[in-house]
């Protein structure tokens, strides 16, 4: 039974990560620093934690590319529901280290040890609630 719960939890986490990656990619298309030839491929979550009732925080690496190269950038997001029936009440996504910029960490160079969040994020996106 516990293994089934863990499997279901991971599957829900992957679905949430896929939705967040798609939404983040849509936001990036409007950014001047983002090339129209780049796209977001995935969000590889390091952790998904419940930080308050109906609020989760996701940390990990956003994977993006241009058809020839793939890179990663640090990601932190919070998603809050106003009540259980809401699909999405509010969110805030922070990504990329402003000190280093884009195209710095290739996908194959991704590190798997715990890391500290950037002091300053390059992009911050919020829902318009």
- Residue-level pLDDT at 129: 58
pLDDT tens digits along 35-69: 999 999 999 998 889 898 888 999 999 999 998 99
Question: ∠42-91-121 over CA atoms, to 5°?
Answer: 70
Pair 109, 91: CB distance under 8 Å:
no
Look at residue 114 and give its three-state secondary structure. Answer: coil
> Phi/psi class of residue 98: alpha, beta or left (left: φ > 0; alpha: ψ in -120 to 50)?
alpha
Query: Is pLDDT at 1 greater than 60 in this prediction?
Result: no
Pair 127, 107: CB distance under 8 Å:
no
Q: Among 61-65, 72-76, 112-116, whose mean pLDDT is lowest?
A: 112-116
- Which helix (H) or strand (E) segment holds residue 22: the answer is helix 2-28
- Residue-level pLDDT at 108: 84
pLDDT tens digits along 82-100: 776 666 678 999 999 999 9
Residues 6+ apart with CB under 8 A from 76: 57, 58, 59, 93, 94, 95, 117, 121
Pair 17, 40: CB distance under 8 Å:
no
- Residue-level pLDDT at 3: 60
């Amino acid at each position: 039974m516990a293994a089934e719960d863990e499997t279901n939890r991971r599957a829900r986490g992957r679905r949430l990560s896929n939705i967040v990656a798609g939404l983040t990619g849509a936001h990036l298309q409007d950014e001047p620093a983002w090339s129209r030839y780049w796209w977001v491929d995935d969000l590889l979550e390091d952790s998904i934690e419940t930080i308050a009732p109906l609020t989760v925080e996701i940390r990990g690496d956003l994977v993006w590319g241009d058809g020839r190269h793939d890179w990663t950038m640090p990601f932190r997001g919070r998603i809050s529901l106003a009540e259980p029936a809401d699909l999405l009440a509010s969110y805030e996504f922070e990504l990329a280290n402003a000190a280093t910029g884009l195209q710095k960490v290739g996908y194959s160079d991704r590190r798997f040890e715990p890391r500290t969040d950037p002091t300053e994020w390059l992009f911050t996106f919020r829902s318009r609630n």
